[in-house]
Amino acid sequence: MDLLATGRIRGTFGVEGFVKVESFSGEYEHFLGFDRVFLSIPQEKLREQKYKDGWFEIEEVNLRKADALIKFKGIDSPEAAKSLTGSELFIPRDKAAPLEEGEVYVHDLCNCDLVCEGTLVGKITSVAEGGGGYLLEIAGKTSEAAAESSFYVPFNKEFIGKIDLKAKTVELMHRWILE
């Protein structure tokens, strides 16, 4: 099953075990169609609880302006809900929010090669949220003489050009950002 990260649990709400979920796409309506999700529970929290396989049934979803409140079956207290904070929600790709022309799912950028002027710069290892938008974490070299390291590139039109998900490549428009 092809799973797609769709949001992250940011905290708890109330006394009944609800969690606050931030959508990666900014869309929240599609959460109403979920009956269960897969949670990537942080390893240190996984040891604290007895979660079997990561799949959680959804009892209730309430949409708000900047998040969704979700109640999972078996999570009935603020303490149990708190143990899920930081987890990412994964859903089957066919249940994800539909894409507009030119949009991509952020998760699909991972493991793509970052290239500049036909030269491999590195591999996108993850996508992080920054104050002004997403940042692509790259494992590679900032220059020919540099050692292999991790660095970030802003994911915006000024720095990122063509994205070819079939070829698994993302174009870096300006090499100077690496200096």
Q: Give the single-character DSSP code of 175.
A: G
Residues 6+ apart with CB under 8 A from 132: 154, 156
pLDDT higher than threshold 80 for residue 51: no
- Give how many domains the chain has, as a whole number: 2
Spatial distance between the Cα atoms of 93 and 85, rounded to a whole number of angstroms: 23
Alpha carbon distances (Å) from 55 to 61, 89, 130, 160: 16, 10, 29, 35
Choice among 29-33, 77-81, 91-95, 122-126 with the minimum mean pLDDT: 91-95
Confirm if 74 and 83 have CB atoms less than 8 A apart.
Answer: no
> Is 101 a domain residue?
no
Instruction: Look at residues 41, 70, 95 and tell me which one is the last residue of a structural domain.
Output: 95
pLDDT higher than threshold 80 for residue 3: yes
Tell whether 120 and 77 lie within a shared domain. no
pTM higher than the cut 0.85: no
